[in-house]
């Protein structure tokens, strides 16, 4: 059974870089045709797509975040990563990693439990 | 890019049906059959309920159904049950490898 688990600092200072990891178990990132995804949800608010990555390194980013976001993958560790630079309080959110359902339709059928990241001043 | 528009709340009594709308534009909902719906209980990760407008993943009850007309997609929950009380989010592919979500609808089972 596929499982995804986010990890990283729960507190990041304003203007610094938010860095998170997503560990995938029960399946191989590199032996599938799925994209791997980051999504976030500010407290009490809706979902926001951040970006997708394929095991080859191909990435797609939300245009509103593109200038600050980097998503990377390490197939040897079966992990993928999120870096978000120059963070502000508006970046405080629960960050989820997820798997794109086969078919490339941008629907996400497996999610991590999420990790709360607070940006402090 | 603008978020899709959902009503903030919806409600129904057990056994009844309720429909939640998701309005986009001709550049997202109206142009692609890639609308998804997610259910999210408090403190939990979202769960995929509908993909490609009308399709249900394995394990999702057939009480949940999706449809689309023009720039508006809809999720219908029939035979409401207490456990259906949750937040529901729609999303749509918006072209150029871009995705938009709706603002979410809180479904209350009365």
User: pLDDT tens digits for B14-49?
Assistant: 999 999 999 999 999 999 999 999 999 999 999 999
Q: What is the pLDDT of residue A84?
A: 98
- The whole-number average pLDDT for the span A58-64 is 95
Q: What is chain B's mean pLDDT, rounded?
A: 96
Q: Nearest CA to B9 among B78, B88, B74?
A: B88
Q: Inform me whether the pLDDT recorded for A5 exceeds 80.
A: yes
**Secondary structure (3-state) at B93:** strand
Place of tokens 């939990």: B44
pLDDT of residue A38: 98
Nearest to A63 among B46, B51, B98 (CB): B98
What is the per-residue pLDDT across B69-83, written as a single tens digit (0 to 9) for each? 999 999 999 999 999
- Chain B contact probe: residue of A1, A2, A47, A103 with most B CBs at under 10 A: A47
Q: Is B88 on the interface with A (CB under 8 A)?
A: no
Please say if the pLDDT value at position B2 is more than 80: no
Q: Is the pLDDT of residue A15 over 70?
A: yes
Cα–Cα distance measured from residue A36 to residue A24, given in angstroms and rounded to the nearest whole number: 10
Q: Is B51 on the interface with A (CB under 8 A)?
A: yes
Residue A103: pLDDT over 70:
no
> Who contacts B95 (Cβ-Cβ below 8 Å, separation ≥6)?
B27, B28, B31, B32
User: Using CA atoms, how far apart are residues B50 and A3, in angstroms rounded to an integer?
Assistant: 21
- Chain A residues with CB under 8 Å of B47 CB are 111
Angstrom distances, CA of residue A39 to CA of A30, A50, A93, B70, B102: 21, 5, 10, 27, 13
């Amino acid at each position: 059974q596929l499982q995804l688990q986010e990890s990283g600092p729960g507190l990041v200072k304003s203007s610094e870089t938010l860095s998170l990891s997503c560990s995938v178990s029960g399946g191989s990132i590199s032996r599938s045709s799925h994209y791997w995804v980051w999504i976030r949800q500010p407290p009490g608010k809706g979902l926001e797509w951040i970006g997708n990555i394929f095991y080859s390194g191909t990435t797609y980013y939300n245009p509103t975040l593109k200038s600050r976001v980097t998503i990377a993958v390490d197939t040897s560790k079966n992990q993928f990563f999120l870096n978000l630079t120059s963070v502000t309080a508006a970046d405080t959110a629960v960050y989820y990693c997820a798997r794109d359902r086969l078919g490339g339709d941008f629907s996400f059928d497996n999610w991590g439990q999420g990790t709360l990241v607070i940006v402090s001043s | 890019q603008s978020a899709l528009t959902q009503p903030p709340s919806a409600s129904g009594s057990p056994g009844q049906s309720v429909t939640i709308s998701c309005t986009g534009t001709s550049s997202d909902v109206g142009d692609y059959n890639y609308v998804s719906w997610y259910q999210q209980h408090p403190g939990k990760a979202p769960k995929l309920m509908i993909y490609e407008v009308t399709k249900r993943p394995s394990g999702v009850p057939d009480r949940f159904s999706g449809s689309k007309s023009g720039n508006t997609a809809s999720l219908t929950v029939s035979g409401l049950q207490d456990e259906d009380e949750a937040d529901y989010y729609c999303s749509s592919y918006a072209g150029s490898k871009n995705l938009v979500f709706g603002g979410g609808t809180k479904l209350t089972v009365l």
